[in-house]
Structure 1
Amino acid sequence: MLGGTFDPIHHGHLRSAIELREALGLDHVRLIPCHQPPHREAPGVSSEERLAMLEVAIAGEPGLMADDRELFREGPSYSADTLASLRAEYGPQARLVMAIGHDAFLKLGEWHAAERLFDDAHVVVIERPDHDAPLPPALEALIAGREVETVQALMARPGGQLLRLSLPTRMAISATFVRERLALGDSVRYLLPETVIRHIEAHDLYRPQSE
């Protein structure tokens, strides 16, 4: 599971998904658009449009799947609830992984029902090589005794452990930067898949600001 607002989906998201699948030996990666983000204001583009951009971005890419389950659940889109639904779908012995970036990891101790995340899945943190600050006390307590050092150790169990993982490519693209360029009418070529750019243009999303 790789969740996010995907507002819009960009090459940084997509490259991380592919490298996660390869590094962890996953059958597939489910990219799950967040319907109602609990920790930030709602995106300016609808969940349906964000899902549509995701679908055109990964069309034909083996191992990447768009998952719309959060769009049909009322209330905030809590990851604990999403993982519980995936665990119910895949059964008790499947090895499930939730991947998050380092910034989100630092706030994990504040997430809704954070302990439940480990009841249903492993957590894999996409590391930032330049970040070595101490962890918040709540996070230290949450992950105590859970951290493993290798993919093999992680995959020995269905869930409950944490692995910090450095990916080969760390593309410094942010959705905020993409939206700012789109709002100004500036080029976003090579930041997004061409299929996503065409969808944005066809549906008049992130329109340029008027003078």
Structure 2
Amino acid sequence: MPYTIDTLKELRKNIGYKRPLGFIIGLDNLVTLNQWHKWKELLIYCHLIVLPRTLHKKHIKNNILKAWVKNKTTRNYLLLHSNSNGYIFFSNTPYVNISSTKIRLLLKNNFSCPNLLPISVIHYIKKYNLYI
């Protein structure tokens, strides 16, 4: 399985470097992002859009990661459209108790989840046997 950074590099090869690209992660992933392979390079290829993942606020403990996030965070979502990469945006979306891991497991076990993903995404995943 490729690292996230490798997937983002490949996406950029396909769509070019001028089009904005957002990578959505949960806050639970952000607080441990410093453990990801080449995590500091992620913003070279995309914006990070951070969604709340639990009802309890999680805090970044790693000081290097904390400073990096503080330096890269914007509250202006329009910057995500006018720049192709480089920002972290904390979304104020409602809390949903679901993760990509749970969605992959549902799809792998042939459960329908149209309330979690657009039907076009479900068809794409099934067509290319992703996560299965």
Could you say whether these structures have the same fold, taking a TM-score greater than 0.5 normalized by the shorter chain as the test? yes
Distance change in 2, residues 1:164/1:157 (3 Å): same
Distance change in 2, residues 1:82/1:150 (3 Å): same
Q: 2:73 is matched with which residue: 147, 172, 177?
A: 147
Q: List aligned pairs for 1:14-33, cutoff 5 A.
A: none
Distance change in 2, residues 1:111/1:142 (3 Å): farther
SS at match of 2:50: strand
Q: List aligned pairs for 1:154-169, cutoff 5 A.
A: 154-168=80-94
Structure 1 CA distance, aligned partners of 2:59 and 2:32? 12
Structure 1 CA distance, aligned partners of 2:4 and 2:20? 17
Tell me which residue corresponds to 2:35: 110
Q: What is the TM-score of this pair, normalised by structure 1?
A: 0.45
Shift of 1:134: 3.0
The answer (yes or no) to whether the contact 2:53–2:97 under 8 Å persists in 1 is no
Distance change in 2, residues 1:110/1:141 (3 Å): farther
Tell me which residue corresponds to 2:22: 97
Shift of 1:129: 6.6
Structure 2 CA distance, aligned partners of 1:79 and 1:133? 22
Structure 2 CA distance, aligned partners of 1:133 and 1:85? 31
Q: Percent of aligned pairs with the same residue?
A: 25
The answer (yes or no) to whether the contact 1:128–1:166 under 8 Å persists in 2 is no
Distance change in 2, residues 1:80/1:173 (3 Å): closer
The answer (yes or no) to whether the contact 2:20–2:81 under 8 Å persists in 1 is yes
The answer (yes or no) to whether the contact 2:27–2:58 under 8 Å persists in 1 is no
Q: Name the amino acid aligned to 2:93.
A: L
The answer (yes or no) to whether the contact 2:31–2:58 under 8 Å persists in 1 is no
Hey, which bits of structure 1, 4+ residues long, moved more than 4 A? none
Structure 1: 5+ residue stretches without partners: 1-35, 37-76, 183-188, 197-211
Q: Name the amino acid aligned to 1:165.
A: S
> Considering only CA atoms, is the larger Rg found in Structure 1 or Structure 2?
1
Structure 1 CA distance, aligned partners of 2:3 and 2:68? 17
Structure 2 CA distance, aligned partners of 1:123 and 1:133? 17
Tell me which residue corresponds to 1:125: 50
Q: List aligned pairs for 1:18-97, cutoff 5 A.
A: 36=1, 77-97=2-22
Q: 1:192 is matched with which residue: 102, 108, 113?
A: 113
